[in-house]
């Protein structure tokens, strides 16, 4: 096809620019991320070679799209020198552009290619004419100047619309990953790497050699690249041999083969319709067409069948080549996203590319050597590809852009050969990927298991922490676990030989799953806790009065809110209560007159301290499967958030007239995840529950009583007295009958049909028939005396 016959709406890349500065270089400018990007944009505008000048081209841009810096990629990320509140328009303003539309893309290294594909499709459909995509990082400058006396202020407030697409982090992390220290990219990729090594049946030494040989040519490219952050050529052995400078990061990675994020780099690409290119006088020898493209997403980490592969990545690469109508042998240049070795190995293995292919696998030098440039690395890859395609007309260049943990993969196939826009089938392929079966999961894992993959994280001070993904022997469910600090037995297992496929022992706790070599070793590390009371507790008061136990949360200075230590004490206390045959009823209350409990200690959490609750939930109650003996909540003052959830978990509630109940989590950006979302709609009218949950509305003790949430209301300050009176009434009956009644109620709770529930067979009835209390009760009745209960 000649350019004369092409549809004037066909998108074409006409300009690509890069910019970089290094702190150690002469003339270092201390530029912000905005100014780094603006310099790259100016280079892209100049690169068009258009008859129109740069100002005229900038004025004609109708759409700008920015890639997020790391400091705006996650909630609460620091920006030590300040940042713009509208990055795309800040950059546009620098170059004289006033676009109608400004986009801030989601986080992820797939972003640059995804945006180029999307913007091209929009142009082809007539929804835009000239679009500019760009991104940058100034992490190196931010780190260098953060504590300087004359540090610059990069804060900017920019007016104008912004299509902020959010962080895009859904599915990329989970509560389980956070609990098990699996939040950093090296550790996550290392899990894949070790799984692949085991599949290939290679030793640690063989695999390390292969990683070094894969990346050594990348260093050669980086050494010749004027925009590279680390232009140093290194040998394969040097890359993977641990030294003081090349310290271990996460097995099997050393520092030299992981992405380098401390950079000051920017890149920009200008795409427009053929009609606009002609109008602005862009020479046809500058035109580069997007022949093939694909965007696919892998299953979430724990849902992947094979942790040694990324089939969605390979499928995206294959489909982009299919759309382009070429085979991999027709590609002249590659730039494969290379934050770690395995994203490169995955594509090579899937497409049958020899890692030593003379065509090379990078045009920039790769993320560890050229520089990560945050989410924007592949914009540099596209810019390099555009220049190579112009230099070799008719050739094809492949750009593979990876995001997350081999989670999102975007591919572009570029060439100067004219072609009209071609649609892809990514949506159809994504539906297929989403239908793939996933392994069963065990968020709480207990028992013998086998290691599926692993890594050992190395801190700067030499401390080691193991992370394991395994399968339970009992049911083959997959779990995530970590080692306990100082457990050299399991660390030695993970640090030598072949751990994958070996037998280990895992146990779940409120703070997560822990793995070690054997059950006996687990008992050494975590001695089983006896179900008995201590002499004293730091955060809780305990009082025994005959068969009655009174438990008081003793943190009035923080409205009896709970942190991990308080929750752990309450869990231990209720274990002891349920195990003690001489205790028949328990009362739970809060110290002082201000609050029963404000739930989670948000001040403790906001201080960055690790928050977790026991397996049995808040106060050791909200997630406990069975409360075999009565627990009465004596609510004095506020029962907010988790405090309300604790009250809901109790069998009975006595509140004084000052009490207020609320699930206030929405007010602080949380949800009532400790049972409130389930128990409240089953306790009060549905509409009332929904209003309380969605608005955080507080209800009074009288309202709570009218809805059935509270059993009794007392005068102010009399909640505990009221609870004692209610407890006395329970204690007047048979503790055996009380306990077995609770059992039958619990067993039949989920049976909808009344007759089915009534006729439900229960061991409680058989136990009651042979109990001493049943005999004593009937005998005492016949003898007209008070029974003497035995609770057996």
Q: Measured between alpha carbons, how far is 306 from 92 in angstroms, rounded to an integer?
A: 44
Query: For residues 461 and 402, which has the higher predicted lDDT (pLDDT)?
Result: 402
Pair (167, 185) in one structural domain? no
Positions annotated as catalytic residues are: 645, 665
- % pLDDT > 70, the chain: 99
Q: 364-378, 416-430, 459-473, 608-622: which has the minimum mean pLDDT?
A: 608-622
Compute how many other C-beta atoms are within 10 angstroms of the C-beta atom of residue 148.
10
Instruction: Compute φ and ψ for 528, nearest 5 degrees.
Output: -55, 135
Predicted local distance difference test score (pLDDT) of residue 746: 87
User: Per residue in 341-383, pLDDT tens?
Assistant: 999 999 999 999 999 999 999 999 999 999 998 999 999 999 9
pLDDT over 90 (residue 777): no
Q: Is residue 187 one of the residues assigned to a domain?
A: yes
Pair (749, 763) in one structural domain? yes
What is the pLDDT averaged over residues 270-283?
A: 97
Residue after which a domain boundary falls, among 207, 230, 256: 256
Q: 188-192, 259-263, 744-748: which has the minimum mean pLDDT?
A: 744-748
Pair (577, 653) in one structural domain? yes
Q: Is residue 529 one of the residues assigned to a domain?
A: no
Residue after which a domain boundary falls, among 690, 712, 731: 731
Compute how many other C-beta atoms are within 10 angstroms of the C-beta atom of residue 711.
18
Predicted local distance difference test score (pLDDT) of residue 492: 94
Query: For residues 752 and 108, which has the higher predicted lDDT (pLDDT)?
Result: 108
Q: Is residue 787 one of the residues assigned to a domain?
A: no
| 3-state SS, one letter per residue, for 264-323 | EEEEEEEEEEHHHHHHCCCCHHHCEEEEEEEEEECCCHHHCCCCCCCHHHHHHHHHHHHH
Predicted local distance difference test score (pLDDT) of residue 295: 98
Mean model confidence pLDDT for the chain = 94
Pair (693, 742) in one structural domain? no
CB 177 within 8 A of CB 455: no
pLDDT over 90 (residue 717): yes
User: Per residue in 507-523, pLDDT tens?
Assistant: 999 999 999 999 999 99
pLDDT over 80 (residue 660): yes
Give the closest residue to 180 by CA, choosing from 506, 447, 439: 506
Predicted local distance difference test score (pLDDT) of residue 242: 95
Query: For residues 781 and 639, which has the higher predicted lDDT (pLDDT)?
Result: 639
- % pLDDT > 90, the chain: 84
pLDDT over 90 (residue 444): yes
- Give the CATH number of the domain where residue 324 resides: 3.40.47.10
pLDDT over 80 (residue 791): no
Angle at 739 between CA 731 and CA 728, to 5 degrees: 15
**SS3 of residue 109 by DSSP:** coil
Q: Measured between alpha carbons, how far is 291 from 397 in angstroms, rounded to an integer?
A: 10
Q: Measured between alpha carbons, how far is 235 from 208 in angstroms, rounded to an integer?
A: 13
**Number of domains the chain contains:** 5
pLDDT over 90 (residue 789): no
User: Per residue in 573-629, pLDDT tens?
Assistant: 999 999 999 999 999 999 998 999 998 888 887 777 778 889 999 999 999 989 999
Predicted local distance difference test score (pLDDT) of residue 201: 97
**Which domain covers residue 182, as residue numbers?**
177-256
User: Per residue in 282-303, pLDDT tens?
Assistant: 999 999 999 999 999 999 999 9
User: Per residue in 1-27, pLDDT tens?
Assistant: 677 789 999 999 999 999 999 999 999
Q: Is residue 439 one of the residues assigned to a domain?
A: no
Give the closest residue to 214 by CA, choosing from 115, 349, 317: 349
Residue after which a domain boundary falls, among 256, 276, 301: 256
Q: Is residue 533 one of the residues assigned to a domain?
A: no
Q: 235-244, 264-273, 716-725, 782-791: which has the minimum mean pLDDT?
A: 782-791
Q: Is residue 530 one of the residues assigned to a domain?
A: no
Pair (658, 693) in one structural domain? yes
Pair (135, 233) in one structural domain? no
Pair (98, 222) in one structural domain? no
CB 373 within 8 A of CB 70: no
Name, in order, each residue with C-beta under 8 angstroms of 176's C-beta and a sequence gap of 6 or more.
302, 443, 480, 512
CB 424 within 8 A of CB 323: yes
DSSP summary character for residue 437: -
Pair (144, 47) in one structural domain? yes
Q: Is residue 98 one of the residues assigned to a domain?
A: yes
Q: Is residue 648 one of the residues assigned to a domain?
A: yes
Name, in order, each residue with C-beta under 8 angstroms of 400's C-beta and a sequence gap of 6 or more.
113, 313, 316, 317, 334, 335, 336, 337, 343, 347, 409, 410, 411
pLDDT over 90 (residue 781): no
Pair (300, 358) in one structural domain? yes
The residue with tokens 């619990």 is 746
List beta partners, residue 296. 409
Predicted local distance difference test score (pLDDT) of residue 745: 85
CB 64 within 8 A of CB 131: yes
Pair (506, 628) in one structural domain? no
> What is the side-by-side strand order in the sheet with 660-662?
595-597, 638-640, 660-662, 699-700
Give the closest residue to 590 by CA, choosing from 625, 635, 651: 635
Predicted local distance difference test score (pLDDT) of residue 785: 82
**Crossing angle of helices 686-695/676-683, nearest 10°?**
150
Predicted local distance difference test score (pLDDT) of residue 68: 96
Compute how many other C-beta atoms are within 10 angstroms of the C-beta atom of residue 325.
12
Instruction: Compute φ and ψ for 383, nearest 5 degrees.
Output: -60, -45
Pair (350, 454) in one structural domain? no
Pair (309, 389) in one structural domain? yes
pLDDT over 80 (residue 138): yes
Q: Measured between alpha carbons, how far is 468 from 346 in angstroms, rounded to an integer?
A: 22
Quickly list DSSP for 510-553: TTEEEEES-HHHHHHHSPPPPSS--S--SSEEEEEETTEEEEEE
Predicted local distance difference test score (pLDDT) of residue 305: 96
Q: How far is CA 429 from CA 28, 314, 320, 424, in A?
A: 47, 12, 12, 10
- Give the CATH number of the domain where residue 502 resides: 2.40.50.840
């Amino acid at each position: 096809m000649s350019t004369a016959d092409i549809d004037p709406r066909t998108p074409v890349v006409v300009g690509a620019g890069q910019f970089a500065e290094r702190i150690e270089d002469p003339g270092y400018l201390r530029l912000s991320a905005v100014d780094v990007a603006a310099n790259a944009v100016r280079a892209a505008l100049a690169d068009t070679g258009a008859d129109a000048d740069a100002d005229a081209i900038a004025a004609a841009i109708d759409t700008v799209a920015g890639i997020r810096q790391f400091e705006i990629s996650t909630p609460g990320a620091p920006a030590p020198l300040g940042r713009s509140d509208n990055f795309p328009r800040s950059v546009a303003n620098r170059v004289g552009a006033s676009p109608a539309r400004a986009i801030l893309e989601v986080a992820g290294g797939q972003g640059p290619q995804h945006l180029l594909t999307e913007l091209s499709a929009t142009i082809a459909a007539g929804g835009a004419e000239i679009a500019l995509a760009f991104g940058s990082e100034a992490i190196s400058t931010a780190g260098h100047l953060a504590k300087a006396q004359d540090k610059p202020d990069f804060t900017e407030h920019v007016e104008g619309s912004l299509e902020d697409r959010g962080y895009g982090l859904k599915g990329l992390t989970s509560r389980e990953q956070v609990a098990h220290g699996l939040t950093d990219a090296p550790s996550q990729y290392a899990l894949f790497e070790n799984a692949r090594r085991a599949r290939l049946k290679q030793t640690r030494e063989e695999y390390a050699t292969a990683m070094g040989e894969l990346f050594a040519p990348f260093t050669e490219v980086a050494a010749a690249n004027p925009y590279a952050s680390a232009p140093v050529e290194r040998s394969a052995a040097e890359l993977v041999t641990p030294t003081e400078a090349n310290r271990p990061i996460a097995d099997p990675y050393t520092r030299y083969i992981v992405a380098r994020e401390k950079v000051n780099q920017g890149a920009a690409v200008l795409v427009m319709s053929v009609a606009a290119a002609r109008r602005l006088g862009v020479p046809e020898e500058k035109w580069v067409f997007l022949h093939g493209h694909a965007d696919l997403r892998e299953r979430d980490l724990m849902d992947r069948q094979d942790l040694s592969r990324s089939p969605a990545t390979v499928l995206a690469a294959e489909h982009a080549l299919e759309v382009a109508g070429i085979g991999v042998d027709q590609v002249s240049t590659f730039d494969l996203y290379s934050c770690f070795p395995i994203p490169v190995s995955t594509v090579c293995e899937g497409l049958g590319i020899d890692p030593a292919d003379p065509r090379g696998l990078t045009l920039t030098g790769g993320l560890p050597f050229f520089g990560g440039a945050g989410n924007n690395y592949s914009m540099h890859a596209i810019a390099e590809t555009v220049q190579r395609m112009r230099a070799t007309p008719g050739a094809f260049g492949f750009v593979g852009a990876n995001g997350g943990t081999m989670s999102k993969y975007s591919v572009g196939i570029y060439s100067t050969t004219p072609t009209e826009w071609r649609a892809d089938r990514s949506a159809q392929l994504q539906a297929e990927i989403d239908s793939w079966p996933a392994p069963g999961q065990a968020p709480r894992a207990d028992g013998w298991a086998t290691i599926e993959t692993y890594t050992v994280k190395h801190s700067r001070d030499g401390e080691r922490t193991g992370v394991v993904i395994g399968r339970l022997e009992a049911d083959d469910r997959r779990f995530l676990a970590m080692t306990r600090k100082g457990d050299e037995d399991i660390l030695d297992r993970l640090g030598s030989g072949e751990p994958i496929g070996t037998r280990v022992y895992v146990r779940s706790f409120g703070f997560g799953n822990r793995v070690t070599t054997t059950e006996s070793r687990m008992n050494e590390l975590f001695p089983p806790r006896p179900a008995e009371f201590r002499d004293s507790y730091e955060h809780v008061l305990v009082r025994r009065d005959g068969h009655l136990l009174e438990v008081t949360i003793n943190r009035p200075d923080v409205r009896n809110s709970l942190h991990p230590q308080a929750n752990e004490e309450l869990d231990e206390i209720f274990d002891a209560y349920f195990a003690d045959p001489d205790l028949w009823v328990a009362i739970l209350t809060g110290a002082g007159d201000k609050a029963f409990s404000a739930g989670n200690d948000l001040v403790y959490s906001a201080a960055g301290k690790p928050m977790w609750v026991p397996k049995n939930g808040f106060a050791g109650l909200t997630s406990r499967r069975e409360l075999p003996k009565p627990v009465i909540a004596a609510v004095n003052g506020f029962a907010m958030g988790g405090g309300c959830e604790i009250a809901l978990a109790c069998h009975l509630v006595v509140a004084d007239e000052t009490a207020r109940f609320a699930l206030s989590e929405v007010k602080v950006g949380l949800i009532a995840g400790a049972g409130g979302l389930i128990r409240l709609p089953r306790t009060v009218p549905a509409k009332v529950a929904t209003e309380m949950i969605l608005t955080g509305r507080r209800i009074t003790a009288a309202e709570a009583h009218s809805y059935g949430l509270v059993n009794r209301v007392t005068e102010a300050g009399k909640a505990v007295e009221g609870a004692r009176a209610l407890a006395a009434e329970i204690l007047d009956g048979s503790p055996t009958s009380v306990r077995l009644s609770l059992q039958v109620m619990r067993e039949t709770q989920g049976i909808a049909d009344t007759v089915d529930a009534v006729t439900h067979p229960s061991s409680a009835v058989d136990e009651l028939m042979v109990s001493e209390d049943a005999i004593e009760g009937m005998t005492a009745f016949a003898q007209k005396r008070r029974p003497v209960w035995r609770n057996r």
